[in-house]
Amino acid sequence: MSNSAESAAKRPLRVAIVGAGPAGVYAADILTKSNEVKGGDFEVSIDLFEAYPAPYGLIRYGVAPDHPRIKGIVNALHKVLDRGDIRFLGNVTYGRDLTLHDFRAFYDAVIFSTGAIKDADLDIPGVELEGSFGAADFVSWYDGHPDVPRDWPLDAKEIAVIGNGNVALDVARMLVKHAEELLVTEIPDNVYQGLKNSPVTDVHVFGRRGPAQVKFTPLELRELSHARDVDIVLYPEDFEFDEASDDAIRSNNQTKTMVNTMTNWLVEEHAEAEEPSSRRLHLHFLHSPVEIYDDGGSGKVAGIKFERMQLDGTGNVKGTGEFIDYPVQAVYRAIGYHGSALDELEYDAKRGVIPNEGGRVLDAEGEPVPGIYATGWIKRGPVGLIGHTKGDALETIGFLLEDRLTLPPAKNPDPQAIIDLLEERGIEYTTWEGWNRLNAHEAALGAAWSESAASDGVVRERIKVVPREEMIEISRG
């Protein structure tokens, strides 16, 4: 062991985690609770960096606000950060405010948990037309992301959502739901007003494969039926099952539950209700998008063309040569997220991840970069549920612990040194204490709204603050 490594072994191991969403918080929690730390083999000092002034990443800015399970996840993350053994530093952007060189100087190890926030590309003609949107951008808008425009063009009566995952259903539900139902959530006022004035009547969700191959979960599916004054419409010709579908229904309880739920909806004949709903949510299967088109060169979405697909026996699909047009005035692409490149690190553009082996980040030659790690979606791609990031973090932290005696030691491991650098550069960083102030402020906004004459008895626990400048001002007191 070198002298510098011996010196490092006598002080707490300094670890920076870049990204304060679930993946980053789980990694910090697992490291602090590791047997090596709990057993006294060594101490650890963790700083959790976040580009936004507030923590929680995807939970705050990537999940529909009406999800009942959000609160439980937020509470769990809050408990971890509220212990006081992990320092939160928000409103600090990697590659702009701090470089990899900076992190190397102040930390023995850096874990990147920056997630994936861009939409995956859909390579069909017309995707650039006015009225064609990426789902990730829309999610950021309705979740009150501080860096997206406050307004969203909600002028379409008929809308297509392409995708059969949870995000597609989130987007469809937010588009078709009456805005008043969302007042019990934390949506900011600009989002409420935008959705309230939407003229939407029909939202169509399209998937390439059959009902037994959908990627959403039973919870997501059931939430569709909870929307007031919204009929769910399905089509008998879409309910095709091949041998692989039958096997999946028999062997997978989740698939069986979803297929049974949709089949029951299909036979309930919502359209013949005594009072048909004012809005409809259509679920289509075996549709592959071919082209988004405008109306006579207007440059605005006027419709979308699909090819009918058929199952091939393995659960995959092949084209039938039959094409169908749907008149719509907006199209939302919800076919997945894609990670973004990070300065000074290799990047796999096809998969949208940092090349790594089990969380050890690799260089251009495929060799591990000492002291640099990844976890979450930037490590494995945007697949799986939030809980899956715990397994990711466990693997990554396992390798960090394995490497800890050979990590390149920080030149200046004093925890105050990084604070001095941020202040020297004029970066208005936020803290955990600042988040508690912002949290209390948002709760007070909800309470004030609930007590107002306009509340009509609706109780709001909080209302999200949107402008970054206001978030920073409140957080920094």
pLDDT digits (tens, 9 = 90+) for 333-349: 999 889 999 999 999 99
At a CB cut-off of 8 Å and minimum separation 6, what does 238 contact? 210, 211, 283, 284, 285, 286
Report the pLDDT value the prediction gives residue 273, as an integer from 0 to 100. Answer: 57
- Sheet with 13-18: list strands edge to edge: 86-89, 44-49, 13-18, 109-112, 368-374, 360-362, 356-357
Query: Do 477 and 434 meet the contact criterion of CB atoms below 8 Å apart?
Result: yes
116, 147, 137: which is closest to 349 by C-alpha?
Answer: 116
Please provide the size of the chain in residues: 477
Dist. CA 15–CA 8, nearest whole Å: 12
Report the pLDDT value the prediction gives residue 382, as an integer from 0 to 100. Answer: 86
- Amino acid identity at 222: R
Beta-carbon neighbour count of residue 151 at 10 Å? 11
Kindly report the pTM of this predicted structure.
0.93
What integer best gives the mean pLDDT of the chain?
93
Report the pLDDT value the prediction gives residue 453, as an integer from 0 to 100. Answer: 65
**Average pLDDT over every residue of 145-157:** 95
Give the containing element (helix H, strand E) for 73: helix 70-82
Query: Do 212 and 249 meet the contact criterion of CB atoms below 8 Å apart?
Result: yes
CA dihedral 91, 97, 103, 105 (to 10 degrees): -130
Compute and round to an integer the Cα radius of gyration of the chain: 24
Which token pair is 398?
């396992």
pLDDT digits (tens, 9 = 90+) for 435-473: 999 999 999 999 999 998 677 888 999 999 999 999 999
Dist. CA 263–CA 248, nearest whole Å: 15
H-assigned helices in 121-230: 135-142, 166-176, 189-196, 218-224
pLDDT digits (tens, 9 = 90+) for 390-426: 989 999 999 999 999 999 999 999 999 999 999 999 9
Percent of the chain with pLDDT over 70: 96
Query: Do 320 and 336 meet the contact criterion of CB atoms below 8 Å apart?
Result: no
Confidence of residue 117 (pLDDT cuts 50, 70, 90): confident
Say yes or no to pLDDT of 271 above 50: no
Which token pair is 191?
């989002």
pLDDT digits (tens, 9 = 90+) for 54-94: 999 989 999 899 987 777 889 999 999 999 999 999 999 99
- Amino acid identity at 331: V
292, 159, 322, 311: which is closest to 238 by C-alpha?
Answer: 311
**Average pLDDT over every residue of 364-393:** 90
Report the pLDDT value the prediction gives residue 219, as an integer from 0 to 100. Answer: 85
Percent of the chain with pLDDT over 90: 83
Give the number of C-alpha atoms closer than 13 A to the C-alpha of residue 25, restricted to the C-beta side: 25
